[in-house]
Amino acid sequence: MSSQLTIDKKDEMLAAEYALGTLPHGERISLEKRIVAEAGLRNRVAWWNSQFVTLVDEVEPVEAPASVLRKVEERLFTSSSSNASIWSSLGFWRGLSIASLAGLIVVGGLYANNVIAPQQPASGNVFVAQMAGEDSDLRLVAYYDDDAKKLRLKRTAGEAAQNRDFELWIIAGSEDPVSMGVLPTDDIYEVDVPEELQAAMSSEAVLAITDEPEGGSPSGKPTGAVLAAGPVQQI
Amino acid sequence: MSDDIGNLISQCALNNRAAFTKLYSLTSAKLFGVVLRILNNRAEAEDALQEIYVKIWNNADKFAVNQYSPMSWLVVVARNHAIDVIRARKPIAVDIDDAFDVSDDSKTPEQEAINTSEGKRIDNCLQELDEQKAQAVRGAYVEGYSYEELAERFSVPINTMRTWLRRSLISLKECLEQ
């Protein structure tokens, strides 16, 4: 374990000069590599930084032009690798809803009643959703009885990639997606809809499936591609 | 304010974009001031600020394990980037103007301290140095002066300047660790 006790005087000086910013370019670059690798040196640089940092109290704030934030957000949030942008695109959901709505009542109703509905007739209002995606072969149907408060999901096509999981989300109106859990490998998934989401399970909602790391999104928000989605419809 | 900023940085680590926008609105003017002072060029400072906030977003998860207060961490990220940029560019002709007038310590009430727990020990310890040496340290930190620029400003050979500064740093360390 390297510690600040073992750092020699020369390195102590380099750490101070690095934090101060006076090291010439070449020395700065080579020291940066060592800072990444050596905890003792890193600690000393951090110590010097925290000593010096209050010197910027004298620096007056200057408003940066609005274009800077716009460029930062473009870079961070609209690159092709970021699927997050899909989630905030109202146009995406609107297009999806219109495309899926036409066949929903017939197809969704059929699936719901013949494939995944429980044997007993529903006692409450019944909602269904048919989920499909443009770029994946994943297809699911969902069935929800608002008396039983259970959502049943049947996967009719598509499988999760190795070491990846499907995660189910509900998007109520313009709200952020809320996770309803990771789908098991079985074709049928049944989940008790928690009280706080029961009201969301309505014709205003969309159900969606994303591709996530094993065990589901680590952040509680969707991180992977939207593989399938569809609007909830009362039948 | 400091806790707010810490929370916002932690929210950025959880991909919370609204928190990022809030963090930017609370902190960008200070960081822009810091990099503008060092780079002394608006276009370069705007580019630098862009890079700095990309770094802040991408490294927000590392904030929790570092040793800084939230605002200090942001300033250190910003300053490191600005110094990297200025050291990489060719030495420029030094513009002898009033930019080195850092002995004026007057502060407006709106200027908040970075972190009171880190305190103002550095100011007290700088007062124990010769005035010119203290000015050299402040000029290096706040204006981002290189050894060449400091040597020119104080009319001493560059190696003398480095020796001066290193001696000052040793004295500062002794004082700061008391």
Q: Does A46 lie in the same domain as A87?
A: no
- Residue A128 CA to residue A116 CA, distance in Å, equals 10
Q: Does A196 touch chain B (CB under 8 A)?
A: no
The verdict on B137 and B84 lying in the same domain is no
| A123, A205: one domain | yes
| Residue in the block written with tokens 């589901």 | A216
The domain that holds B142 is classified in CATH as 1.10.10.10
Burial class (CB in 10 A: 0-12, 13-18, 19+), A89: exposed
E strand residue ranges, chain A: 126-132, 139-145, 150-157, 164-172, 178-182, 188-192, 205-213, 226-234
| Residue-level pLDDT at A148 | 81
Cα B117 to Cα A53, B108, B114, B138, B147: the distances in Å are: 12, 20, 9, 20, 31
Q: Say yes or no for a CB contact (<8 Å) between B15 and A77.
A: no
- Mark whether A103 and A201 lie in a shared domain: yes
A19-42, pLDDT tens digit by residue? 999 999 889 999 999 998 998 999
Interchain proximity B176–A221, CB inside 8 Å = no
CA distance A169 to A230: 11
Question: Reduced to 3 states, what is the DSSP secondary structure of residue A142?
Answer: strand
Per-residue confidence (pLDDT) for residue B3, from 0 to 100: 62
Q: A206: domain range?
A: 83-234
Q: Do residues A178 and A195 touch, judged by C-beta distance below 8 A?
A: no
In this model, does residue B171 exceed pLDDT 80?
Answer: yes
The answer on A173 and A93 residing in a single domain is yes
The per-type count for chain A, helices as H runs and strands as E runs, is 8, 8
Query: Are B7 and B70 within one domain?
Result: yes
Stretch (H or E) spanning A146: none
The burial of B72, by beta-carbon neighbours within 10 Å (0-12 exposed, 13-18 middle, 19 or more buried), is given as: buried
Please give the pLDDT value at position A122.
Answer: 59
pLDDT at residue number B65: 62
Whether residues B19 and B74 share a domain: the answer is yes
**Judgement on whether residues B82 and B21 belong to the same structural domain of the protein:** yes
Q: Which residue of A has its CA nearest to B106?
A: A58
> Which domain covers residue B158, as residue numbers?
120-176
User: Are B111 and A20 inside 8 Å of each other by CB?
Assistant: no
What pLDDT digit, counting tens, does each position of A203-218 carry?
778 888 988 888 888 8
Residues A186 and A111 in one domain: yes
Tell me, what's the pLDDT at A108? 44
Same domain, A32 and A119: no
Cβ-based contacts under 8 A for chains A and B:
151
Does A8 lie at the interface with B, CB-CB under 8 angstroms? no
pLDDT-based confidence at B101, cuts 50/70/90? very low
CB contact under 8 A, A20 and B140: yes
Give SS3 for B62: helix
Identity of the residue in A24, A56, A69 whose CB atom sits nearest the CB atom of B147:
A24
Give me the pLDDT at residue B161, please.
94
Residues A43 and A103 in one domain: no
The answer to whether residue A1 sits within a structural domain is no
In a domain, B50, yes or no: yes
Range from A28-32, A78-82, B163-167 carrying the lowest mean pLDDT: A78-82
Name the B residues in 89-128 with CB < 8 Å from any A CB.
102, 105, 107-108, 111-115, 118-123
Asked whether residue A32 is domain-assigned, the answer is yes
Residues of chain A in contact with residue B122, where contact means CB-CB under 8 angstroms, are 51-52, 54-55
| B16 part of a folded domain | yes
Considering the domain architecture, whether residues A25 and A132 belong to the same structural domain is answered as: no
Asked whether the beta carbons of residue B49 and residue A20 sit closer than 8 angstroms, the reply is no
Is residue A4 in some structural domain? Answer: no
A67 part of a folded domain: no
The single-letter DSSP state of residue B67 is: S
A125 assigned to some structural domain: yes
Interchain pair A69, B114: CB under 8 A: no
Same domain, A220 and A123: yes
What's the number of domains chain B is made of? Answer: 2
Give one word for B31, left, alpha or beta, with left for phi > 0 and alpha for psi -120 to 50: alpha
Q: What is the mean pLDDT of residues B39-68?
A: 89
Please state whether beta strands A178-182 and A164-172 pair in parallel, antiparallel, or not at all (unpaired).
antiparallel
CATH number at residue A126: 2.60.40
ipTM of the complex: 0.84
Is residue A179 assigned to a domain?
Answer: yes
- Whether residues B130 and B67 fall in one domain: no
Binned at pLDDT 50, 70 and 90, residue A234 comes out as confident
**Nearest-Cα residue of chain B relative to residue A47:** B67
Q: What is the mean pLDDT of chain A?
A: 77
Round to whole Å and give the CA distance between A179 and A171. Answer: 9
Q: Within a domain: residue B109?
A: no
Of A110-124, A213-227, B54-68, B101-115, minimum mean pLDDT range: B101-115
3-state SS of A56-83 is HHHCCCCCCCHHHHHHHHHHHHCCCCCC
Q: Is residue B101 part of a domain?
A: no
Which residues have CB under 8 Å from A75's CB, separation 6+? B50, B54
Nearest residue to B173 via CA among A51, A45, A35: A51
Alpha-carbon dihedral sign for residues A196, A201, A204, A210: positive
**Structural domains in chain A (count):** 2
A contact residues 156-195, partner B, Cβ 8 Å cutoff: none
C-beta atoms of A54 and B118 within 8 A: yes
Cβ <8 Å between A22 and B17: no
**SS3 state of residue A168:** strand
Whether B108 maps to a domain, the answer reads no
